[in-house]
Amino acid sequence: MSSDADRVGIPKLGLGTWENTDPEACVESVAHALEIGYRHVDTAQAYDNEGHVGEGIAQAGVDREDVFLATKVWTSNLAHDDVLASTEESLDKLGVDSLDLLYVHWPAHEYDPEDTLSAFDELYDEGTIDHVGVSNFEPRHLDTARETLDAPLFANQVEMHPLLQQDELVEYAREHDLTLVAYSPLARGKVFEVDELSAIADKHGVSEAQVSLAWLAQKDDVVAIPKASSYDHIEDNFDALDLELDDEDVEAIENLDREERQVDPDFAPWN
């Protein structure tokens, strides 16, 4: 794995692929990201691009074992047998034999802890997945998942950025040896409109995106997966790994008293 990884080997910065549904653009963006040094690629059944992501990985010429690959099981596929069948379909589309990480996408609709997670345990026991993850789980859902699973719970993927700092989940991850994977780490572009982030960006001669990503990357137990499809954005995001924020910068970000959630469907567990 990349040296820019957390303590358990998941690279600190990954490529998110949500809304990256143009076939050619998706293939090229994944390939380019891997060619410049990304080693973590995140997709999902619901993104409708697993096949294109797989093509991009194949096209990059990076050894499969060097790529941390994750996908997510959609809420309509969370009954036990559907987890198994849909994961097999995901593997076929991605062109791989196994996954580094498989998530429950949301604790919603067909999700039942016993029924759903027993299938994840099967996939883990047979070596089809290296790690079990969940996404959009609140502490109470995490408690239940940890109690239900035989396999270790490895990660919780949630929206996280300077405008939604997720202090409770960060503390939970630290206490229970989980990795928090931050999606929408740029708050869907809102980080470019925050004066405090712009001031830090000007100070270092970087973008607000890099400031947000560096703030996440400097946290223990947190990694980020910004989505990007253009080469410029893919490269700009990756450069965040070279940015070191000082204590003053971190304090300014953590003093932002805002909670602006960007992803908030009706079925979300906090609603």
Catalytic residues: 47
Integer Cα distance of 72 and 252 in angstroms: 34
Q: Which residues partner with 156 through β-bridges?
A: 134, 180
Whether 214 contacts 248, CB under 8 Å: no
DSSP for the chain, please give it.
Answer: --SSB-TTS-BSB-EE-TT---HHHHHHHHHHHHHHT--EEE--GGGT-HHHHHHHHHHHT--GGG-EEEEEE-GGG-SHHHHHHHHHHHHHHHT-S-BSEEEE--S-TT--HHHHHHHHHHHHHTTSBS-EEEES--HHHHHHHHHH-SSPEEEEEEE-BTTB--HHHHHHHHHHT-EEEEESTTGGGGGGG-HHHHHHHHHHTS-HHHHHHHHHHTSTTEEE--B--SHHHHHHHHGGGG----HHHHHHHHT------S---TT-TT-
* Separation in Å, CA 258 to CA 88, 163, 254: 41, 5, 10
